[in-house]
């Protein structure tokens, strides 16, 4: 468990959201167990973790759908713990979009405008928002006439119309197919830069977190295991859980080595570990090797494929092989 | 398997609904045709049917003595429907959205349990509750609240109570069904966008539960319009409704042609209402749930 100070970003002169020792229990289960976190204005922040780790509950606590049992939720300087969702300057993009099926796209986007006190020109505002997500001209459609990607855009437009201080996204791309997900990742990132609003999104997909976020918090069992920039968390995981979740699976006494940092040799080399090939999986750009070392440890090695067969790529199950890595790639764990 | 087998299946799929057609044809369409034919005949003495065709029965059915009965029937049906709606919506809402999941089936069973007893028996039970020496009057008199029994039985109020009691489950169940399948995240989305709980109900819950609500209204209004047991047992002689009128023509009055004409007119009236509703719903771009 990292110390409190480590959960805070380096330059936190402009904090938009601060969670202090937030707790939420469901019956005997602690869904969120003492989370302290600061998020800067304009950040694209990811809450990453396996299902049941408490990331969605944490998002719901910020949205106001749940109220914390203990701790403070400070939004732009004001403690909003206990304030209902409709009185928080926070909006949500739901996992399955939650578009109102009985309303048109334009009416969905306009839904929240009437609750805003400041004077609006709703019609031009709606058109502006639809243009922002490239849905202009489709305002008269009903949600069931839209594709998954279009629904996603409408959900974004609807949530951004009210200029929230923080936009929350619950597994925003999980319902899309792979190709569309990649496109939407790029679009989402661009959109966040354009509107300049703080985005906090929940995902169980580490690649998505790395692609989209500036900083990421990895959660496990209701607690934050590590917070940092995507590069820090990926390259310098501090705990076994984070290392494992980020795909660094070669654990040794006190350190871990990422599979793509290891190399295979067909001849003996200095400081190399000897073993036999257990299996190989061709993955297109890379090949994933499982090697059983002589002392019984299973190592995963990922080699780039360059398309030219060589001694390594011709290795078969049971063949003798040496695994080598550099000292600087050993990441110490707590 | 050859692909043609999947093509052949739909050609005979209509056989699956043939039992329904058979039942509807024999027990609904044929009697309806007989009624239509009867309504165009003349009634002789002692129930003899003399050949028509004539529109006399239809013309007679619009005489002022009868239109009062129709007006009373419509009024009772509308009032029953409105009261059922007001009583049932909160019940359906509670069972669908607020009750603990393990209690839902018990609550639904409580709504359905009255059907285990015959409708006639249940209506007689109301006579014992409402009559001068009944449960309500004896209780109030023994408490000294009243000294004379309240006239409850054989009043329009008694008919209304009996009707509402009988029809409430037909309103609760369809409303429950449409609230139950409501996606809760839609309500959270409404709150998230600034709507209060009341506004979320008004703008999201109610419109989305509208198909079930309309189904409940139709299921309650139409039987209430034609009801005859409740007014017969609880309403007394002055409370005659169109259902009793029709029943009388086929029974004591020995005038099947006139009874058929009133029944046909009632059917036409109900169809016209449904047709008007369907047109209105279609203009609004809604699904027609009939």
Pairing of strands A15-26, A90-93: unpaired
**Residue A176 is part of which domain span?**
4-242
**Does residue A317 share a domain with residue A210?**
no
Q: Is the pLDDT of residue A2 over 50?
A: no
The predicted-structure confidence for A187-218, as pLDDT tens digits, reads as follows 999 999 999 999 999 999 999 999 999 999 99
The predicted-structure confidence for A15-69, as pLDDT tens digits, reads as follows 999 999 999 999 989 999 999 999 999 999 999 999 999 999 999 999 999 999 9
Give contacts of A101 with chain B, Cβ < 8 Å.
186, 208
**Does residue A15 share a domain with residue A148?**
yes
Domains for chain B: give ranges and CATH numbers.
Answer: 61-283 (1.10.3720.10)
Instruction: Read off φ and ψ for residue B110, nearest 5 degrees.
Output: -60, -35
Size of interface A-B (CB pairs under 8 A): 62
Q: With residue B213 as reference, give the H or E element that holds it.
A: helix B210-226
Place of tokens 């999986």: A281
**A125/B contact by beta carbon, under 8 A:** no
The predicted-structure confidence for B67-78, as pLDDT tens digits, reads as follows 999 999 999 999
Nearest CA in chain B to A107: B203
Please say whether the beta carbons of A209 and A242 come within 8 A: no
Q: What's the structural domain count of chain A?
A: 2
pLDDT mean across residues, chain A: 90
Kindly state the tokens that stand for B223.
């039987």
Residue that finishes a domain, picked among A212, A242, A272: A242
SS3 A216: strand
| Residue in A94, A99, A115 closest to B195 by CB | A115
Among residues 98-117 of chain A, which lie with CB inside 8 Å of chain B? 98-102, 111-112, 114-116
**Does residue A114 share a domain with residue A58?**
yes
**Does residue A158 share a domain with residue A47?**
yes
E strand segments, B109-267: none
Q: What is the CATH number of the domain that holds A308?
A: 2.40.50.140
Q: What is the DSSP letter of A16?
A: E
Distance of CA B246 to the CA centre of its chain: 17
**Does residue A266 share a domain with residue A198?**
no
**Does residue A302 share a domain with residue A210?**
no
Please say whether the beta carbons of B47 and B255 come within 8 A: yes
Nearest CA in chain A to B191: A86
Q: Is the pLDDT of residue B237 over 80?
A: no
The Cα–Cα gap between B86 and B94 comes to: 13
Instruction: Give the ipTM of the model, two decimals please.
Output: 0.86
**Does residue A297 share a domain with residue A235?**
no
SS3 A3: coil
The predicted-structure confidence for B35-45, as pLDDT tens digits, reads as follows 999 999 998 88
């Amino acid at each position: 468990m990292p110390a409190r100070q480590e959960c805070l970003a380096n330059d936190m002169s402009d904090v938009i959201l601060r969670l202090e020792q937030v707790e939420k229990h469901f019956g005997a289960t602690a869904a969120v167990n003492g989370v302290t976190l600061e998020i800067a204005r304009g950040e694209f922040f990811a809450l990453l973790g396996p299902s049941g780790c408490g990331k969605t509950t944490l998002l719901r606590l910020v949205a106001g759908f749940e109220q914390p049992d203990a701790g403070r939720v400070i939004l732009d300087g004001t403690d909003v713990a206990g304030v209902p969702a409709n009185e928080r300057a926070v909006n949500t993009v739901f996992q399955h979009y939650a578009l109102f099926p009985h309303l048109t796209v334009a009416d969905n986007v306009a839904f929240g405008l009437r609750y805003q006190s400041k004077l609006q020109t709703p019609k031009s505002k709606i058109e502006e928002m639809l243009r922002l997500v490239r849905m202009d001209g489709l305002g008269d459609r009903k949600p069931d006439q839209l594709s998954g990607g279009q629904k996603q855009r409408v959900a974004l437009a609807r949530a951004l119309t009210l200029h929230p201080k923080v936009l929350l996204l619950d597994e925003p791309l999980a319902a899309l197919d792979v190709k569309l997900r990649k496109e939407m990742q790029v679009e989402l990132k661009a959109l966040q830069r354009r509107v300049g609003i703080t985005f906090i999104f929940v995902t169980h997909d580490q690649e998505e977190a790395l692609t989209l976020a500036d900083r990421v918090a990895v959660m496990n069992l209701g607690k934050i295991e590590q917070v940092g920039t995507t590069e820090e968390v990926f390259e310098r995981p501090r705990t076994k859980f984070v290392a494992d979740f980020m795909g660094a699976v070669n654990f040794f006494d006190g350190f871990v080595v990422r599979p793509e940092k290891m190399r295979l040799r067909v001849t003996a080399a200095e400081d190399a570990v000897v073993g036999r090939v257990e299996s190989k999986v061709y993955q297109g750009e890379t090949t994933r090797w499982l090697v059983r070392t002589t002392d019984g440890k299973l190592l995963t090695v990922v080699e780039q494929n360059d398309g030219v067969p060589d001694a390594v790529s011709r290795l078969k199950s049971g063949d003798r092989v040496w695994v080598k890595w550099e000292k600087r790639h050993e990441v110490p764990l707590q | 398997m050859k692909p043609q087998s999947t093509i052949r299946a739909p050609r005979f799929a209509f056989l699956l609904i043939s039992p329904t057609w058979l039942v509807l044809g024999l027990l609904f369409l044929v009697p309806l045709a007989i009624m239509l034919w009867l309504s165009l005949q003349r009634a002789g003495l002692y129930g003899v049917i003399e050949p028509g065709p004539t529109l006399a029965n239809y013309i007679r059915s619009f005489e002022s003595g009868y239109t009062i009965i129709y007006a009373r029937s419509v009024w009772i049906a509308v009032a029953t429907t409105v009261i059922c709606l007001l009583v049932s919506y909160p019940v359906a809402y509670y069972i669908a959205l607020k009750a603990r999941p393990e209690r839902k089936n018990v609550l639904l069973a409580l709504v359905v349990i009255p059907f285990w007893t015959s409708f006639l028996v249940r209506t007689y039970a109301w006579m014992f509750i409402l009559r001068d020496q009944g449960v309500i009057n004896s209780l109030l008199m023994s408490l000294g609240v009243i000294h004379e029994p309240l006239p409850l039985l054989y009043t329009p109020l008694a008919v209304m109570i009996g009707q509402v009691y009988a029809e409430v489950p037909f309103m609760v169940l369809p409303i429950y069904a449409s609230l139950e399948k409501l996606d809760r995240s839609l309500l959270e989305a409404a709150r998230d966008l600034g709507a209060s709980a009341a506004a979320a109900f008004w703008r999201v819950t109610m419109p989305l539960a509208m198909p079930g609500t309309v189904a409940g209204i139709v299921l309650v209004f139409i039987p209430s319009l034609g009801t005859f047991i409740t007014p017969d047992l609880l309403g007394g002689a002055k409370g005659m409704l169109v259902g009793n009128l029709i029943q009388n023509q086929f029974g004591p009055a020995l005038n099947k042609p006139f009874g058929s004409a009133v029944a046909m007119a009632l059917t036409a009236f109900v169809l016209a209402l449904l047709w008007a509703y369907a047109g209105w719903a279609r203009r609004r771009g809604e699904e027609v749930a009939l």
